[in-house]
Amino acid sequence: MDAASDLPRALVAAEKTRVRKLALARRDGLDAVARADGSAAISAAVLELDLKPGCAVSAFLPILSEVDLGEAIAGLDGRGHPVGLPIMVESGLVFRRVRPGDDLLPLGFGTRGPGSAAPEIVPDVLLMPLTAFDRRGGRVGYGRGFYDRAVAALRAAGRFPRLIGIAFSVQEVAAVPMEPHDAPLDMIVTERDVFRFA
């Protein structure tokens, strides 16, 4: 592949970096009260979604200034949904079952989660962290591709989970640059809106 054919990919990568930086600066600028109130509203909205009874859900715990889904995790567990947290392993991501009150271990990159003794789940719904989103279902992550690879692996195994982005409204951008491997979201939940695309 020559340098000219790499140019569009380089431009897309540069634009992702730009929108990621812009949206993260706005998210980081939220004060503690706005972040807590927004997280509570997002958790409440997640608990109002039309999830199939007993379906397995992957969630996440906040790093840096992310949404805190603690109330949603407890509520989903209380309704009989197996909830898993994403764990980075050599092959990508696995999702290990978590219950309210479980002891969690530091797992790198600021994440915490259940240890290797916790059972793995295969999620029917992925509540996905993101750095930026648009109103067409575009998502920018942190640039490491863990969720892209996890979604691709699930689909290759015949599983097609609902992909739900979780973000504060300040993380919205006009347009997210998308590449062929980027899976568009089915839905985005913020403290103000629920956007549905599928």
Tens of pLDDT, residue by residue over 56-96, are: 999 999 999 999 999 999 999 999 999 999 998 887 899 99
Position 10 pLDDT exceeds 70:
yes
Among the ranges given (7-16, 34-43, 90-99), the one the predictor scored with the smallest mean pLDDT? 7-16
If one compares 181 and 103, the residue with the highest pLDDT of the two is 103
Residue 17 known to bind ligand: yes
Domain count, the chain: 1
Give the CATH number, domain containing residue 39. Answer: 3.40.50.10420
pLDDT at site 3? 42
**CA distances, 96 to each of 10, 30, 114, 120, 157 (Å):** 35, 30, 7, 4, 18
Residue 80 known to bind ligand: no
Residue 108 confidence class, pLDDT cut points 50, 70, 90? confident
Residue 143 known to bind ligand: yes
- What phi-psi label fits residue 28: left (phi over 0), alpha (psi between -120 and 50 degrees) or beta? alpha
Alpha helices of 67-123 — where are they, by DSSP H? 70-78
Residue 195 known to bind ligand: no
pLDDT digits (tens, 9 = 90+) for 111-165: 788 988 999 999 999 999 999 999 999 999 998 889 999 999 999 999 999 999 9
Which residue, among 127, 101, 100, 97, has the nearest Cα to 115 in the 3D structure? 97
Residue 101 known to bind ligand: no
pLDDT at site 6? 55
pLDDT at site 171? 98
Residue with tokens 């979780």: 166
pLDDT at site 7? 52
161 touches 126 (CB < 8 A): yes
pLDDT at site 136? 95
**Virtual torsion, Cα 109, 179, 91, 151, nearest 10 deg:** 100
Residue 85 known to bind ligand: no
Residue 137 known to bind ligand: no
Residue 144 known to bind ligand: yes
Residue 66 known to bind ligand: yes
Residue 146 known to bind ligand: yes
Residue 39: which domain range? 3-196
Residue 90 known to bind ligand: no
